[in-house]
């Protein structure tokens, strides 16, 4: 099974977490696809150029949606004060396309009324795991592993 990992990837700690998640998922025969593996991270020195930003945004948008559509499921990393906004767009896209969506959250912080953002929670429908083994159990229970 191939899983698109949606989540933040703009600092070293985030990218390292994504790599650890990918490695852990492989233990359960899940091929994790990380957008960060596509060598399109923004160069900070070029971020001032509007043309660069517009071209990069178009490439990232098209590449990430193509990657997502090549996967069987989307797994969104919900850690952080709020979920990454790009990951939320990917979650909504996957949900609308009928791609099964799951969350992983090791963070104790919540958003509204003791739950995560209501739109995110609505799409995930309780399919949020606290760790990789629990996530694998969910995928197995849904017949995806």
Domain boundaries, the chain: 2-141
Domain covering 2-141, topology? Rossmann fold (3.40.50)
127's CB contacts (< 8 A; 6+ apart) are 101, 102, 103, 138, 142
Query: Treating both helix axes as pointing N-terminal to C-terminal, what angle do 50-69 and 85-97 enclose, rounded to 10 degrees?
Result: 40
Local confidence band at 47 (pLDDT 50, 70, 90 cut-offs): low
Res 36: pLDDT? 87
Counting residues of the chain whose pLDDT is more than 90, the rounded percentage is 68
Nearest residue to 92 (alpha-carbon basis) of 125, 129, 58, 120: 120
Local confidence band at 64 (pLDDT 50, 70, 90 cut-offs): very high
In this model, does residue 144 exceed pLDDT 80?
A: yes
Arithmetic mean of pLDDT, 75-83: 92
């Amino acid at each position: 099974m191939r899983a698109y990992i949606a989540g933040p990837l703009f600092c070293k700690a985030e990218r390292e977490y994504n790599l650890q998640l990918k490695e852990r998922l492989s233990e359960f025969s899940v091929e994790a696809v990380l957008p960060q593996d596509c060598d399109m991270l923004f160069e900070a020195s070029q971020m001032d150029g509007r043309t660069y930003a517009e071209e990069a945004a178009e490439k990232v948008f098209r590449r990430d949606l193509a990657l997502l559509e090549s996967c069987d499921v989307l797994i969104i990393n919900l850690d952080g004060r709020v979920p990454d906004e790009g990951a939320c767009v990917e979650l909504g896209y996957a949900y609308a396309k009928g791609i099964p969506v799951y969350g992983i959250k090791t963070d104790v912080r919540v958003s509204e009324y003791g739950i995560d953002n209501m739109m995110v929670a609505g799409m995930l429908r309780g399919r949020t795991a606290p760790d990789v083994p629990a996530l694998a159990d969910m995928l197995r229970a849904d017949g995806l592993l």
